[in-house]
Amino acid sequence: MDPFKPMMVLACAGLIAQAGPEPYAADWASLSAYRCPEWFRDAKFGIYAHWGVYSVPKASGWTDWYGRVMYQRGSELHAFHTAHYGPVDRFGYKEFIPRFTADKFNADAWAELCLEAGARFAGPVGEHADGFSMWASKVNPWNAAAMGPRRDIVAEMERAVRQRGMKFLVSMHHSWNWGWYPTWQEGTDCADPANASFYGPRLPASARGGGDLGTMSGHALPMPSPDFERVWLEKVREVVSGYSPDLLWFDNRMQILSEGVRQEMAAFYYNHAAARNQEAVLTFKRPDMPLGTGTVDLERARMPDIYPDPWLTDSSISRESWAWSADLTCYTTDRLVDDLVDIVSKNGCLLLNIAPHPDGSIPAEQQERLRGIGAWLKLNGEAIYGSRPWLIYGEGPTQTPTGHLADQEFEGFCAEDIRFTTQGAQLYAIALGWPENGTLHIGALGQARYNGKLKGVALLGHAGKLDWTQGPGALEIRLPSKPPCSHAYVFRIDR
């Protein structure tokens, strides 16, 4: 018998007993009344953090999947685990929980850094695929308030983020719990029925879906049980009821859940927000929900052109991993700023992941990147915050790749790449490089393509006037001897 089932039934009964009409019903037609709020359209930039039990092993590589891959014989993480911690039947993933002490975690320091970076929304991973909840859960005894840090991480982050005027987000990855651990694999602590409250019931290997590590398939056989779906839903209800996130973010693989559960989840979140007069954002990856029932999110990927509805890219400060690892290297600040500009020019927002140390401190290299983004936004934010797309997103030779995780193979932009945004009647041209010949050419604003006379051109951060000519082929801007900042360069165009 599921030990949480009575609690779940009571919780569901309490929800049914609520009085009064609610604006959203648990069906796709009703949920399609969702409209992305203006605060999200204006915010453009947010930060979250992959930090949990999976951060504890001092391993290299793709460490946010440590709890799964450590059991895969022949993998580098299995070899690492065996060498440093012993066989997986004696030292399983659950043994890392007491070592997850969060000695240096400071929610105020995290939130202050997010604010300094220019983020307008921020928050933690609420539960990753490992099934360890970062809040004081009643449905899941394996949570950060009851063991490990013995602190409600989500509550501390909510207070710190909202005190600084940012919107609060929580990300949820727990659709992956189904088949995450190899409960079918003898010789592991996952196969011991005594550990089923954490690792889950014994399932066949096919429940994992996909196959190898690089496959992010949502397929699973058998599909999740009713008990799993009830616990999955109650975890969402706990987060929504307890912390009222402004943005509720879901990882992919929700498609393995029944449509009714997904519909009930979305209706509960939207109705909770409506009762609080809160403008809520629910993000999902295709095909987990129909278009129009929430805001589309792309993982380490972006739209190839302007998308008519606001959308989100979730990406990381590093190419290699979402969580801290011993060999973690960061993207350059220039690359991160360019990515933000490109995404915003296409009507998107960027959610950037950071990877704190196991103790809860944020590595100096990552702090430097975030402060660099914040310095750029402090100077150039008028072209980003509250902006909207122009007629075209940009010009230049670089084509951004499309598809799930495509950005991991993307090498970045060049000096000829330009992106456009608008703010009311104002047009901004953002050059992603500083031309060596001292002249910036913007073909889209040449007389042959743009039927309008420009009135002025200014470079944000540069006090002097610029020499410019609107010729037939391009707007040509003679640049000053030194750029005003270290990254993308923003030109305000008066029309």
Residue with tokens 């949820």: 172
Helical residues (DSSP H) of 244-305, grouped into ranges: 259-275
User: What pLDDT shows up at residue 5?
Assistant: 39
Token pair, residue 211, equals 């196959």
Is pLDDT at 435 greater than 80 in this prediction? yes
Q: Which residue has the higher pLDDT, 5 or 408?
A: 408
What CATH fold (topology level) applies to the domain 394-494? Immunoglobulin-like (2.60.40)
Give the confidence band of 17 by pLDDT, cuts at 50, 70, 90.
very low
The CATH architecture annotation of domain 20-383 reads Alpha-Beta Barrel (3.20)
Axis crossing angle, helix 153-163 with helix 107-116, rounded to the nearest 10: 40
Give the residue extent of every domain in the chain.
Answer: 20-383, 394-494
Give the confidence band of 215 by pLDDT, cuts at 50, 70, 90.
very low
Residue-wise pLDDT for 137-156, tens only, equals 999 999 999 999 999 999 99
Total-model pTM? 0.94
- When mean pLDDT is compared across 6-15, 358-367, 441-450, the lowest value belongs to 6-15
Token pair, residue 420, equals 């456009």
> Which of helix, strand or coil describes residue 313?
strand
Q: With pLDDT > 90 as the criterion, what percentage of the chain qualifies?
A: 92
Cα separations in angstroms, 459 against 452, 484, 494: 20, 8, 11
d(CA 90, CA 422) in angstroms, rounded, equals 59
Is pLDDT at 295 greater than 90 in this prediction? yes
Residue-wise pLDDT for 41-55, tens only, equals 999 999 999 999 999
Residue-wise pLDDT for 359-398, tens only, equals 999 999 999 999 999 999 999 999 999 999 999 999 999 9
User: What pLDDT shows up at residue 479?
Assistant: 97
d(CA 120, CA 391) in angstroms, rounded, equals 26
Per-chain mean pLDDT for the chain? 94
Q: What residue type is 128 in one-letter code?
A: H
